């Protein structure tokens, strides 16, 4: 198995290790906000977050639909703090309308993944579901081992320029 195949195999299981994602948003004045939210993901790598309308990231996504999402290896488990494994996606956010079939399907996925708390959250009218659609991404597994992910195929890694990976 060559390096790209190893990286691809790791990418396929990396996302499954996480229940929440770090989310970076910006206000309509460009003021950044870093936060996190529990998520569910579909086969197309769309990320769904269920968030309070009172939170800064929800307010930001309502006026500026651009977000960056990051999944990053636990510091306690990393071999090298300067080269933590991480996945980032540049995303566009879309609000899922409440009480639609899609909304109910996503709520059901949240319930299956996170349990009873979702029943409480779904009764709170300020909670909203956003679909974060990745446009592109980057998966870093160490020094000189970065891979790009393009929106036309979010399931396939490509070596990035300057990567120590040998091109096939």
The pLDDT value given to residue 164: 55
Mean pLDDT (whole number) for 27-42: 97
pLDDT in tens, 60-114: 999 999 999 999 999 999 989 999 999 999 999 999 999 899 999 999 999 999 9
| Total domains in the fold of the chain | 1
Higher-scoring residue by pLDDT: 168, 110 = 110
Q: Return d(Cα 21, Cα 87) in angstroms, integer.
A: 10
Is residue 123 one of the residues assigned to a domain? yes
Burial (CB < 10 A; 0-12, 13-18, 19+), residue 87, is: buried
Q: Is the pLDDT of residue 165 over 50?
A: no
Is residue 164 one of the residues assigned to a domain? no
Is residue 143 one of the residues assigned to a domain? yes
The pLDDT value given to residue 166: 43
Q: Return d(Cα 5, Cα 61) in angstroms, integer.
A: 36
Query: What CATH number is attached to the domain comprising 31?
Result: 2.30.110.10
* Host domain of residue 128: 3-159
Q: Provide the pLDDT confidence category of residue 163 given band limits of 50, 70 and 90.
A: low
Phi, psi values for residue 29, rounded to 5°:
-95, 0
Is residue 165 one of the residues assigned to a domain? no
Is residue 167 one of the residues assigned to a domain? no
Beta bridge partners of 82: none
**CA angle at 95 for the pair 90 and 96, rounded to the nearest 5°:** 120
Is residue 116 one of the residues assigned to a domain? yes
How many other C-beta atoms are found inside a 10 Å radius of the C-beta of residue 61? 26
- Please, which residues have CB within 8 angstroms of residue 55's CB and are 6 or more apart in sequence? 35
- CA-based R_g, the chain, Å: 17
Chain center to CA of 113: 16
The structure's pTM equals 0.91
pLDDT in tens, 2-18: 888 999 999 999 999 99
Q: Which of 38-42, 63-67, 112-116, 142-146 has the lowest mean pLDDT?
A: 142-146
Contact 50, 121 (CB under 8 A): yes
Q: Is the pLDDT of residue 29 over 70?
A: yes
């Amino acid at each position: 198995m060559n390096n790209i195949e190893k990286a691809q195999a790791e990418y396929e299981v990396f996302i499954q290790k996480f229940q929440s994602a770090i989310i970076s948003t910006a206000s309509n004045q460009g003021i950044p906000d870093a936060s996190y939210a529990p998520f569910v993901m579909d086969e197309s790598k769309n990320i769904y977050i269920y968030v309070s309308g009172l939170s800064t990231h929800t307010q930001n996504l309502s006026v500026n639909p651009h977000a960056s999402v990051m999944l990053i290896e636990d510091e306690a488990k990393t071999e090298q703090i300067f080269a933590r494994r991480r996945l980032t996606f540049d995303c566009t956010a879309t609000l899922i309308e409440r009480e639609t079939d899609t909304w109910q399907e996503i709520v059901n996925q949240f319930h299956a993944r996170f349990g009873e708390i979702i029943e409480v959250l779904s009764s709170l009218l300020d909670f909203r579901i956003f679909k974060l659609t990745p446009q592109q991404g980057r998966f870093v597994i160490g020094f000189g081992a970065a891979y790009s992910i393009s929106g036309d195929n979010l399931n396939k890694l490509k070596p990035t320029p300057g990567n120590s990976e040998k091109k096939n």
